[in-house]
Every structure is written in structure tokens, then in C-alpha cells.
A and B are shown apart, each in its own frame.
Chain A
Amino acid sequence: MSMEKQQETKQNSYWKSLDEKYQTPEFIEQAEKEFQTSPLKEDDDKSGLARRQFMKLMGASIALSSAACVRRPVQKIIPYNKRPSEVIPGIANYYASSVHDGREGFAVTVKTREGRPLFLAGNADYPGNAQGLSARGTSQLLSLYDPDRVRTPVINTQDPKKRGNNLPIPRDWESLDKKVVAQLAKGDIRILTGETSSPSLKNIMNKFSQNLGGQVHTWTPVNESDVLHAAELCFGKSAVPKYRYDKASMIVSIDGDFLGTYLNPTESSRLFAQNRNPDGNMSRLVSFQSVPSLTSFNSDDNWGIKPSQQLPLVLGLIHELAFVQKKVSAVGSIRSLTADYAKIYEDIGMTHEQFAELASELAQHQGDSIVIAGGLQTKTKDSVSLQIAVNYLNDLLSNNGATIQWSHGLNAHESMDQDFSDLLDAINDGKVKTLIINEINPMYNLPNSTEFKAALGKVEMVVTTNNWMDETANLADLVAPAGHAMENWGDNEFEPGLFTVQQPTIQPLHNTRSFGDSLMVWSKGAGKAVATEETFYDFVKNRWTSQLGGEKAWIDFLQKGFQGQTYEGTERSAGFNTSALNNISVQQTASPIELSLYTKVGMHDGTLANVSWMQELPDPVSKIVWDNYLVIAPSLADEKDLRDGSMVQVKTAQHEMTLPVYVSPGQNHGSVAVAIGYGRSKGGEILKNVGFNVQDFIVTDNTVFEHAGFAVEINKTGETYRLAQTQGHHNMEGRQLAVETTKKEYKKTNDIGLHKHKIFSIWNGHKYEGHKWGLGVDLNACTGCSACMVACQSENNIPVVGKKYVLGGREMHWIRIDRYYSGDEKKSVDAIFQPVMCQHCENAPCETVCPVLATVHSDEGLNDMVYNRCVGTRYCSNNCPYKVRRFNWFYYDGHHRKEPMHMALNPDVTVRTRGVMEKCTFCVQRIKEGKNAAKDQNRPLKDGDIKTACQSVCPTNAIVFGDLNDKESKVNKWFDSQRNYTLLEEFNAAPRVRYLAKIRNTPRELGGGHHDNGGHDSGHGETDHKEGH
């Protein structure tokens, strides 16, 4: 220590120790710490047996010796030293933000507690998705807390020529930036980004490529190239339209799964449900599907088709309308083409009457009908032709501009396969020195045949912003993790003129930096700054402050979450260019069996494969979790002697592999399909060994990616594979469970044709003086999208158990969606969805049999579950006729929640230990929260103050919760509806959940289901073995 220093320190007149007096480095280090041993780092093993650890071990050994087998989680309580002004412990804060689930963009409200996001729901004021949020949207929360995310910038040590054998080394941003900046100086930069709807990021990316000499390529594996291309040809402007199902009375879908996976399913479901009021306007939906989907299951009539029949079907409809019925006038030149398909209905199994009826229904609804086709299943050789034909048919029906908004369509659907092809060409021509891949995973999503991997060897440096060490990140030289959307600032324009803000709701959990920030830093480093601002946040803020006019407006924007509104007027018809019809050619030849690839509601393109909620979300169609499989028709299964789980050799001209089979009613005999998004190899612990990678079936010349219509050969291998299905049986066995009737019947009788039972009681039952909670489920509105299941899982800390235990029948979802079939499974089936949660019976059978009174009734009519009283006899579950109770067979929480996943836990809901029963509570914590809020404000509770988690994300408002003692409450109105019924009414458990029957808008008689008279045996033998879970 120098004399100078000593001189200075002598000015301290008082000192506690010599260390302090001489200001030794050890002292300074100590003094800067608030605590001598950090209370946060209890398990800092450097300090050996520290005092706290000693106490902990002492405590633990006493606890262990006194209570063998009881394992209680270590709990850390950390009080605020100084409380941030906006945070009140125990009170949730809600922030407006937006997320994109890979398919659809949402304005959301993020619920945070003590500074951490806990729950996502749609922003109810936002005119797009409104309160609705898809299952994938809700599960963004878990992907934020994914323990497998890349936590720091990573430098891969590998031979760039080989792109393999790497050893990822975590580094800091400075060293990564240095490498990137040095490389950028060489020019020839390409950015390959997924679809982004952020105007600010687009701005930055464009400036970046301008300033540094590069180009932006937008490409997403599941894209709408065909729609964009066709629009260009038909209307002179490439666009993806927005369909207004709320304005349409007649909808025909040809593999356009708009309720499940195509374009914006959540918003579409909301709009669709608005026009499905059985007591008012009710649209009619007819579906032709090559693979059963939510759309086909929600249709009023449906036919299974083959991919090769999609285009002929549209042409046949045009022919029927224009040249047979002459209801519309088409250009004569097309007649020669359409005439070939005049009898297409025969191939589909329709009668001419049915086909003519369909055409005349469309004709009756000119200007208020929609014909829609799209999605992976339609990406055959003829996909552009199909889109042109559909556009033309809509034009003939005057729908373009009326129910189909072309000028006010959807943003974030601008990725083109052409863009990818251009990039690949550029790489192969040696024109790319640096490739920046922004949050897409082409190495997984592209078939090997594209030789993209080989091409990457020609790029000097590959940088990716991916948040996982996935297939692509493993091949990149540098990984500059962009962090999660919930950690970063941003903005979005999901629809033209409708802007949403993306507010971070938590500090980045790891050492990540948003893509916008990275581009700004790199461009600045290269001396060609893309913006004057310091950070991307400032850039976004300045941009909006100047655009909106002031700081206040920006704050308002943040609070409201969005700006602008959806287009409500009628567009001028976008003048169809009939010369586009010359591009229609039918190249797809029919094969006996055709294969298509499709996307599942939960898995989509595989980006969320590491999110366990999505893996364990039962597919709404098949109810299978943790797998993809070859969907085949029951008749084909008979022919080839296949059952669920039989392995088959699937062989196309392109690729050959073995896949397990799932026999799906409603599937066309000649059509088989398998979902993409599975069989990921890298990027986390959860996605490993889940399902099969089927990307190599894609046929591509690198410009067009064909996903459907491949001639395929299927051969039984004799092996079997276990598919985990959450529903054991798919037929109502003639029981009155999910009730449906036709609109015709309903209008005639004003009744749903229920068989009512005379219920009497020898006592008057309990009186509920205060609140009396009830919940209604509208089966007519429910599309089965399963968003509620994930919302419930998120809200109530419900564990995921994995495939092995789902096979053993141990899934934990508190709300499940039962899906029943009716009709002849060899032809076409109707499906009906029925969400089932705890029915909170007034005469609850579970309560009487519990020996320790662990489940009891509250004075508000809730069936409460007292976890810490439960011994786990499981008698309650046996006695529950709805079987809604779930048991903690193991200590799920301890085994499955790795840090930081525990941060996703809702602190208002007990985390259940092993050996206790659990079930839906009607979100009792939300009831409490609502009551407390009303009490604080000194006002009575209003209807709608309390929303259950499932209700709060439902896009179609199929669930309503409220007080039955409130005469004006919405739930009371539902309970009084003619459509209301209780499940197993004759059992007289007196449930507090009521269902509103589904109404099908079809002229035919319904095939089976709730009627006692026959028909209900169908499908039994077929589906019987599915119980083996």
C-alpha cells in the first residue's frame, strides 16, 4: 500500500478494524456486500459448511429422522429491502404486451407477481384476438423460463468448412461483437429471418443491410408462398387476406384449417363463433379435408378427400355454379378446364344432389360466403393453381372485398420460398460471407435434399440469434441469443394499421440481447450505425413518440397495448385478373394413397418442442401426446390390418421411413398424413426422442416446397409402438353426454331433444346465501382448440408427467376436452368437443367418502380440496362420476421443475406434494382476488370481475363463470337457456357446471351420439384398443 493511500485514509477519524483503516482490498470487497454471507446464495459450496448450510442440514436431518418419507421443498423467503413503488407483494400487476406464437400474433396482458410474469391472456380490448390466446401463445410463458435456453453468447469452435464437431464455449458479448464486427467489414451480408411483424425491427434490418451491404431474406418453414403468389397473379398485389367469418353465412373449407392451424386460428375462431348463434344468425360450415382437423370436426357437414382432389373439387364447384346451375357467370375460357371435373363429387362420395345443393347454397350467399383452402395439406404441386381457383370462385361469389379482405389482410405472412431459394443461390455462388439467422431453425425444418447444410460450408461466418442450442445453432459459428419476446422491447403490426407494443415484463433472465440491439451494436461497431439511439428500446420509443406525438401518447400506447383498429368497412372489390386463370393447371395425379404433411395445433413447426406443456397437450383431433404418427382411415386400417400403434414402412419417391399409425375416423381412405415439428434432435432436454422427423418427405427444387399429395406405399412391418392417448374411448355408447341437435330440429321444437329424468329429493338442500358460483360451457361455441387446458396448467401449477406416465393414465390436466365421434367412421363422422372440469356438485359424491374430510363444500358452493389434509386414499376419485380428480402419484414438482422453471409457478396456488389428490378449484384464488379487489374499492362484486383461467383465454367465449345468486349474471342467463343441461343429470350430483347443447346447422339427421336409438355402436370395435394407455 502506497504512502499516498495511507495519507488519505488517515482522514478517517474512526475505524472499526485495521483493515478498514488501511482500506485493504479484502475490506473494500466486504464492505460493498450488503450481507456478509449472501442470503441468496445458500448453496454456494465454496464456503464449505457455512452457518446457514449447517443449520439447514441440522434441520433437514431432524426433519428426516422424525418424518421419514416426507420431503418438503426448501423454501426461500426474500423480503424486499426497498420495495419498488409499483410492486405490492401479493398483488398482481398486469402489463399490455404482444407475443407471436409462430403462427399468429396476439396482443396480450401479462400478469406479473413481484416482478415475474406468471400468466398470459389475450388483451380483451384488442380488436384482433381480443381475450383469446392460443395454447401456444399461453405457453410462451414456459418457453421464457425454459432451463435449456442459451444463457450467454456462445462461440462455437468448429471447422466452418465442415460445420460440425463443435464445442460451444460460452463467452461475453464484447468478444462476440468483436468477431462479428470484424467479419461485417468484409461485406456480403445476408439476414435470414423468420416472419416478423415488427415495423421497428424491419426498419433496423433494412437499414442494416443497406448500410453494411447485404440483403434480408424472410422465410419460415410453414409459410403462405402459394397464397401470396396467387394473390399477385389474381390481384396484382401479393397479400394474405383476412377472412371475416363473422360476416359469412356459408363457409366451405377445402383443407383450410382456419380454426386450428391455418393463418390466424384464434382470431378466426372468435369471428367464426360470433356468427354461430343458434338463436340468431348461424353460419354453415362445410369441410373437405384430407386430414381431420379442428375445422372438419367443427363443420356441419364434412367429406374426406385426397390432396389430389382439392383443385378438382374447386374447379368442379366452379363448373356446377357457372355452367350447370348458371347462377354466376364465369369466363367461358375456363369451361374446358372445369368440365373435366364436373363429376368430381363421385370421387369424393357425394351424390349429385348433395353437390348441387352445396353449390346452390354458395350461390344463395353471394357476398356473404367464404371458400378457403390453404395450409401444408394443400401444398401439392398445384397449390398455386388451387389458390387461384379459390380466389376465382370467391370472386364469382362476390366474396372478395366483402368477407375476404385483401387490402386489409394479415401481416407477418410475407415469407416466400423464393426468398430462401435466392439465398441458397447466393450462397452457392459464393456471394455470402456472413449469414445472420434470426430465430428460425432451417437445419431442422428443411429436408436434407436442400443441401442447405452443405451450402453453409461456403459461408465464412454464420451467426444465429436462436435461443436454444438447436440444430441450426449447433452449426453456427456464433450464437448471439436474442432472448425471449417477454424480455425484449418491440412493436408489432399484425394487421395493417393495427399496432401493438411489446413490453418486456422481466429483465432478461440470462445474458441475452435482443436482435434489434445486436444489429445496432454491430452496425455501430462497423462504423455504419443504423440508428442514433443507444438501445433498441430508445429506437422503438422515439419512433413511436414522434409518430404518436408525444411522451403521453407513448405511455398511453404502453398502457393500452395497441393503436388503431381493424378494418370494418367493405373493401372495393379487388378486380380479379382473369388472365391469372391461365396459370391453373392440374398437374397432381391421383394416386391410390397420398401422403400429406400437416401441422398440429400444439407443435406447429417444432419451435416450441422443448416446451413440455405443448408436448403434453393432447392433440385436439387425436388426443395423442408426445408423438406424431401417420393418420390413416379406418377402412385403410382394415385393409392393411393395422391398429393404432402398428408400425408401417412409409415410402414415397423422395423418402422412406417407419412410422406408427393412428386410425382416425373422418379420414379419406386414400389419404394419409403425418405432422411435422417432431423428431427434433437438438435444442433441449424435453424435445429429445419425441416423435419422428418427417421433414425429408418434403419435395423441393429449393423454390417450391411441396408438402402434400405424394404417392405413397404403406407396408406393415409387424412391430408396434405405444402411442400415448389421453382419451380412452371415443364413442358415447348411447349415453347422453355431449348433447347436440340440428338447427332444423332446434328451431322446430325450441328444444334440444334431451331425455329428461325426474329428479326428486327428500330434503331441500343447502342454502347459499352469499355467492353461489356456477360455470357454463357452450358446446356450440367450443371449437376444441385446447387453449383452456394450457391456461389452466399455467394458472394452477399443474405438472407435466411425460409420455410414459400418460401411457399409464396419469396425466394431470384439471380441465380436459372430451371428443366424441358419431356416425359411420368409414364414411364421415361428426365430432363433438366437451370440456370437462370439476363439476362442483352440490351433492358431491367425493365429499361423503373421504375418511379425513379433505374435500368439503364451501358456503359458496365450491367443492374445496384441502391438500394438506389429504392422505391419498383416492376414494373420492373412484366415486366421482366425471372422473375429474387427479392424483400426485409421485413428487412431480421436485423431480420436474428445474431452475428457472420454478419462476413460472403461480404463488397463489399451492404446489402439491406427492400423495395428494387435486382437481379444478374454479380458480378459487381468482375468486378471492376478485372479492378482495371489490372489498378494497368498497363496492359489490360485479358480474365478470372474476374470470377463471380457462375462461380468460377462450377465443370463442365458450366458458362463462359467475354468481348464480346474481339474477343478472351471464352465467344465470346461460343456466336458463333452452339449450342448458347438466352432465349425468340422472345421477343427481347436482353439478354447478352446465352445458349448452351444440347445434349443427345441417339438413341431415345426426348420425348418433345422444340418441338412444341405434347408431351408437359404430366405431366401437375400431377404437376399443385405444384404451391401452
Chain B
Amino acid sequence: MMDRNPLILGDKTYKDITDDICEPLETVPGKQWMMMFFSAKSLLLFYLASVATILFTGMGLMGTNHPVAWGTDIVTFVFWIGIGHAGTLISAVLYLFRQKWRTSVARSAEAMTVFAVMTAGIFPLIHTGRPWLDFWLLPYPNQRGPLWVNFRSPLLWDVFAVSTYATVSIVFWYVGLVPDFATVRDRAKNKIRKKVYGILSLGWRGSTRNWSHYEMVYLLLAGLATPLVLSVHTIVSFDFAVASLPGWHTTIFPPYFVAGAIFSGFGMVVTLLTLVRIGFPKFKDYITIDHMEVMNKIIMCTGLLVGYAYCSELFIAWYSGVKYEQYAFINRALGPYWWSYWIMFSCNVFIPQIFWFRAARRSIPIMFVISIFVNIGMWFERFVITVTSLHRDFLPSNWGMYDWSIYDAAILFGSFGMFLTLFLLYLRAFPAISIAEVKPVLYVGKKKGGH
């Protein structure tokens, strides 16, 4: 067996681990956190105000128009849904594959999933013309005559896919948190804290029976969550692939979307964890450079997959012989939105190639910058798919441009406010690293001691 670096640095004892991880929950937040929180919260309030203005006045404030009927809302929805994928992949798929390095990052990645799905979920709701009637998309017995939903519509599949994903992710995340909540409860020195965490820990006593049930549920949920990694983004891609628009109507979309989602998800995990390492220096022992390097490898790999998909699209457009399809792709690369296509291509395919160098993979500043590029690139990927396909389709007389407005910008950036606020609160309220899962891997890769 190959020697590997220890997963946890600094010769920790079990108590050290518990102390380290519980520290953010039990101390008064520092200046850094406060500053980040207040800026995130301000952004969130700004987001809420923008959404309220749009709801009150009408969708017309956004840049969507004729022919580009879907814009920032859908682009950003797909972007956030994609972000979520890394969490599920790390916590469920890697768990099933018994990847021990996942333990340090799984909790935060999952939290990111949950918050990203929450952020994403708002977009399809507010992008409709009459958001107060969105519940009509749910198939439930009603008194509106024989009216029922249209099961042929990919948007409806979306409703199911996203809601299932959100539910499973939250349950999976919560179940994993139960033993840690119990730890926090047991350490609590004040009554309210004890009560709150007592309720959250669902009466966990740490008995063998508890552990045995827990392990089983966790395994089952991991099994349940794994297909979702593939299915959710497959179905999101159906919104496009099932439509008949040139540039949308392609069979490569499901795998291409899934690869892209994992790619962007890992990008976001790297972004967040570099920040966590800065915010909580003690976490550097748990979230080590080795962890980051593994994730960077995945980013590079999925980046290549995405690059393959881009090229494949171009080839198939040419090979199909359909002139509308051909035009759609020529237009993407060379039309008025050429810059978005090349931002996408550079950020997603070219820039991650730096990770071929080990030094780059292990450099925090480099990986942080690259992960930001990946996030930008993946937003533009969805922009390219949505907007450049719509803006020039079959009849040239309809061709037009997306009419980007300040509200598009407000909604896009505001959504980060929501996501970051939730994530920052999470860092202070929940153990950001799984105490229960880290302890068993304490001696992995260590020369002396261990099992």
C-alpha cells in the first residue's frame, strides 16, 4: 500500500479534535467573521428588496424579452443547482467508495449543497410572471375543475427533481449532524444551549444501538443520494434538451450538465474552504493542503470532461448537417455574444489546466483564484446555453439581444448574499467538521501509533 500523508495534522488527541471543532460554536465571533457576516447580510437584504420590487412591479424589470424569454433567473438557478452537486458527491458517493479524506470536508460541502439548493430554488419561483400562482405546478387534488399539471413538461420534472434533491440533501446532512449535536449538547455550559442542541440531537446517547442505527441510516441515505447526483442535473438539463431550440436540443446535455455541476461544485467548495481555513486557522489541521489538492484534481478532471462536451457539441452541430444547429454554434463562438462563450471556454477548460502542476494544486492563493474563475466560467456556461441559443433561433426577423438590466445584476449578486449569510451562520451554529467522522481517521497516514 502506498504511503499517504496524514489526514489530520498536528498530533491531535480526541479531545483536541472536539475542542477545535466546537470552538467556533462556543466563542464570541471575531472581527473577521463579523465583517463578513454583516456584508453578507447587507447583500441579503439588498437581494430581498430587489426581489420584492420585481414581485411588486413585474418581471419586466428584468432583462428578459422577446425572443430571450429566459435570462438571469434561469441561468442563476442552474448555476446554484450545479454548485450543490459537489456536496452530495463528496458526502454520498465518496462515502460509498470509502474515501476517507472526505470526512473533513463532507460537512461543509453538504451544508453548501443545502444552501445552494435553497438559493437556487427561489429563482424558478420568482422568474414566473405570476409567482403567487407557482403552487399550480404542484400536482395535488384541487378544486380547479379537471385542471392538472402537464406531466410532459420538463419544468414539472424539475419541480420533482429539485424538491426531492432538497429533501434528501437536508435529511442526509441532518442525520450526519446528530452525533455532533449531542457532543455540543454535552459540552454546553448554559441551559438554553443545552436545550436547543438537546432537541437537535434527537436524544442521542452514543450507545452502540444508536451507532448501529446511525451507520445503517447513513449508508442507506448515501445510497439514496447517490443517484440524485446524476438525476437532478440530468433533469435540469432536460429543460433545455427536451425543448426543440437549436443549441438546446442535444442529447449530450445530461452527462455534460452533470460533469459541469460537479466541476462547479468543487470550485465552490475550494472557494469556501480556503476562506474557512483563513477564518478558523485551527481548521487547517483538519482541512489540509492534501484535501485541497484532491479536490483540485477533481476540478481539473471534470474541467476536461466539460471541455470535451464543448468540443463534442461543435462536432455534432457540424456533423448533423442541420443549418439551424450549425448556425447556433457558429453564433455562440463568433456572434455578438462571442465574449461570453470565450469566457466560458477559458475559465472552464483552459485555466484549470494549471492544476497539472503540483505546486499550483497545493498553493492556496492559486487555487482560490482558479476556483473563482471556475465559478465565473460555469455561470457563463449557463448564460451561453440559455441566452445565445434563444437570441437567434429559426426566423432571423425575431433575432434580438438580451436586455440586461440593473435588476439582473441585483438578483445575481444578491443571491450570493443569501448563500453566504446562511453559510456564515452555519459556521457558527453547526460543527463545521464532522467530529464523529474525523476521529476514526485520526491515525490514517501516520507512521506511529494507530491501529
Q: Which of B57, B156, B327 contacts A851 (CB 8 A)?
A: B156
CA distance A852 to B136 in the complex (A): 7
A809 lies within 8 A of B66 (CB): yes
- A585-593, A601-609, A722-730: which lies at the B interface? A722-730
Residues of chain B with a CB closer than 8 A to A1029's CB: 400-401
A891 lies within 8 A of B397 (CB): no
Q: How would residues 853 to 880 of chain A score, 1 for a CB under 8 Å from any chain B CB and 0 otherwise?
A: 1000000000000000111111101110
Residues of chain A with a CB closer than 8 A to B245's CB: 878-879, 881
A809 lies within 8 A of B243 (CB): no
B305 at the interface (CB under 8 A from A): no
Residues of chain B with a CB closer than 8 A to A808's CB: 63, 65, 403
CA distance A881 to B336 in the complex (A): 21
**Nearest-neighbor residue (CB-CB) of B137 within chain A:** A851
Given contacts A735-B394, A852-B147, A915-B128, 16 further A-B contacts (CB under 8 A): A810-B60, A845-B243, A851-B150, A851-B159, A852-B149, A853-B149, A871-B129, A871-B133, A875-B243, A877-B66, A885-B66, A887-B69, A890-B60, A915-B58, A984-B394, A987-B394
With A809-B401, A870-B130, A871-B137 as given contacts, are A820 and B155 in contact (CB-CB < 8 Å)?
no
B148 at the interface (CB under 8 A from A): yes
Residues of chain B with a CB closer than 8 A to A873's CB: 127-129, 155
Residues of chain A with a CB closer than 8 A to B69's CB: 874-875, 877-878, 887
Shortest Cβ gap from A929 to chain B (Å): 25
B148 lies within 8 A of A853 (CB): yes
Q: How would residues 145 to 178 of chain B score, 1 for a CB under 8 Å from any chain A CB and 0 otherwise?
A: 0011110111110010000000000000000000
Closest 5 CB pairs of A and B: A872-B129, A915-B129, A889-B60, A809-B65, A818-B397
A246 at the interface (CB under 8 A from B): no
Q: Which of B70, B153, B244, B324 contacts A874 (CB 8 A)?
A: B70
**Nearest-neighbor residue (CB-CB) of A884 within chain B:** B398
With A852-B136, A891-B58 as given contacts, are A809 and B403 in contact (CB-CB < 8 Å)?
yes
Residues of chain B with a CB closer than 8 A to A730's CB: 396-397
A734 at the interface (CB under 8 A from B): yes
B393 lies within 8 A of A849 (CB): no
With A816-B397, A849-B155, A881-B395 as given contacts, are A735 and B58 in contact (CB-CB < 8 Å)?
no
A110 at the interface (CB under 8 A from B): no
B420 at the interface (CB under 8 A from A): no
B299 at the interface (CB under 8 A from A): no
CA distance A731 to B398 in the complex (A): 11
**Which B residues between 243 and 283 are near A, CB-CB below 8 angstroms?**
243-245
- A67-75, A256-264, A505-513: which lies at the B interface? A67-75
B323 at the interface (CB under 8 A from A): yes
B399 at the interface (CB under 8 A from A): yes
Shortest Cβ gap from B336 to chain A (Å): 7
B58 lies within 8 A of A874 (CB): no
Q: Which of B132, B242, B398 contacts A68 (CB 8 A)?
A: B132
Shortest Cβ gap from A175 to chain B (Å): 46
Residues of chain A with a CB closer than 8 A to B65's CB: 808-810, 889
Q: Which of B58, B63, B148, B396 contacts A733 (CB 8 A)?
A: B396
Residues of chain B with a CB closer than 8 A to A768's CB: none
With A808-B65, A870-B130, A874-B129 as given contacts, are A850 and B398 in contact (CB-CB < 8 Å)?
no
A871 lies within 8 A of B59 (CB): no
CA distance A735 to B398 in the complex (A): 14
With A728-B400, A875-B155 as given contacts, are A70 and B395 in contact (CB-CB < 8 Å)?
no
Shortest Cβ gap from A645 to chain B (Å): 14
Shortest Cβ gap from A286 to chain B (Å): 27
Q: How would residues 907 to 931 of chain A score, 1 for a CB under 8 Å from any chain B CB and 0 otherwise?
A: 0000001111100000000000000
CA distance A875 to B386 in the complex (A): 12
Residues of chain A with a CB closer than 8 A to B58's CB: 888-891, 914-915
A556 at the interface (CB under 8 A from B): no
With A851-B159, A871-B130 as given contacts, are A1027 and B401 in contact (CB-CB < 8 Å)?
yes
Q: Which of A69, A729, A852, A1028 contacts B132 (CB 8 A)?
A: A69
CA distance A136 to B229 in the complex (A): 60
A875 lies within 8 A of B153 (CB): yes
B130 lies within 8 A of A728 (CB): no
With A851-B150, A853-B147, A873-B155 as given contacts, are A728 and B132 in contact (CB-CB < 8 Å)?
no
B134 at the interface (CB under 8 A from A): yes
Residues of chain B with a CB closer than 8 A to A848's CB: 150, 152-153
Shortest Cβ gap from B369 to chain A (Å): 34
A889 lies within 8 A of B59 (CB): yes
B25 at the interface (CB under 8 A from A): no
A886 at the interface (CB under 8 A from B): yes
Q: What bracket does the count of chain B residues touching chain A fall in?
A: 35 or more
Q: Which of A818, A836, A877, A914 contacts B130 (CB 8 A)?
A: A914
With A878-B243, A914-B130 as given contacts, are A836 and B395 in contact (CB-CB < 8 Å)?
yes
B397 lies within 8 A of A820 (CB): yes
Residues of chain A with a CB closer than 8 A to B153's CB: 848-851, 875
**Nearest-neighbor residue (CB-CB) of B133 within chain A:** A871
Which of B66, B327, B391 has the most chain A CB within a 10 Å cutoff?
B66
Q: Which residues of A contact B (CB under 8 A)?
A: 67-70, 727-735, 737, 805, 807-811, 816, 818-820, 834, 836, 845, 848-853, 869-875, 877-879, 881-883, 885-891, 913-917, 983-984, 987, 1024, 1027-1029
Tell me what chain A mostly uses at the interface: helix, strand, loop, or mixed.
loop
B55 at the interface (CB under 8 A from A): yes
CA distance A885 to B67 in the complex (A): 9
Shortest Cβ gap from A960 to chain B (Å): 22
B64 at the interface (CB under 8 A from A): yes
Shortest Cβ gap from A600 to chain B (Å): 20
**Which B residues between 74 and 99 are near A, CB-CB below 8 angstroms?**
none
Q: Which of B67, B154, B392 contacts A809 (CB 8 A)?
A: B67
Q: How would residues 182 to 206 of chain B score, 1 for a CB under 8 Å from any chain A CB and 0 otherwise?
A: 0000000000000000000000000
B57 lies within 8 A of A818 (CB): no
With A852-B136, A878-B70, A888-B129 as given contacts, are A883 and B398 in contact (CB-CB < 8 Å)?
yes
Residues of chain B with a CB closer than 8 A to A836's CB: 395, 397
Which of B60, B152, B336 has the most chain A CB within a 10 Å cutoff?
B60
Residues of chain B with a CB closer than 8 A to A915's CB: 58-59, 128-130
B390 at the interface (CB under 8 A from A): yes
**Nearest-neighbor residue (CB-CB) of A801 within chain B:** B60
Residues of chain A with a CB closer than 8 A to B398's CB: 728-729, 882-883
B68 at the interface (CB under 8 A from A): yes
Residues of chain B with a CB closer than 8 A to A735's CB: 323-324, 394-396
CA distance A845 to B245 in the complex (A): 10
Shortest Cβ gap from A306 to chain B (Å): 30
22 A-B pairs (CB sep. < 8 Å): A67-B132, A69-B132, A729-B392, A734-B323, A735-B394, A809-B67, A809-B68, A851-B137, A851-B159, A853-B150, A870-B129, A871-B136, A873-B128, A875-B153, A875-B155, A887-B69, A888-B129, A914-B130, A915-B59, A916-B130, A987-B244, A1027-B391
Residues of chain B with a CB closer than 8 A to A732's CB: 396
Residues of chain A with a CB closer than 8 A to B159's CB: 851
B140 at the interface (CB under 8 A from A): no
B357 at the interface (CB under 8 A from A): no
CA distance A888 to B136 in the complex (A): 19
Residues of chain A with a CB closer than 8 A to B399's CB: 728-729, 1027
Residues of chain A with a CB closer than 8 A to B319's CB: none
Residues of chain B with a CB closer than 8 A to A888's CB: 58, 129
With A848-B152, A878-B69 as given contacts, are A871 and B244 in contact (CB-CB < 8 Å)?
no
With A809-B67, A810-B65 as given contacts, are A1024 and B401 in contact (CB-CB < 8 Å)?
no
Which of B131, B393, B396 has the most chain A CB within a 10 Å cutoff?
B396
CA distance A913 to B132 in the complex (A): 13
B394 lies within 8 A of A881 (CB): yes
Which of A67, A727, A849 has the most chain B CB within a 10 Å cutoff?
A849
**Nearest-neighbor residue (CB-CB) of A1020 within chain B:** B396
Shortest Cβ gap from B160 to chain A (Å): 11
Shortest Cβ gap from B136 to chain A (Å): 5
Shortest Cβ gap from A758 to chain B (Å): 14
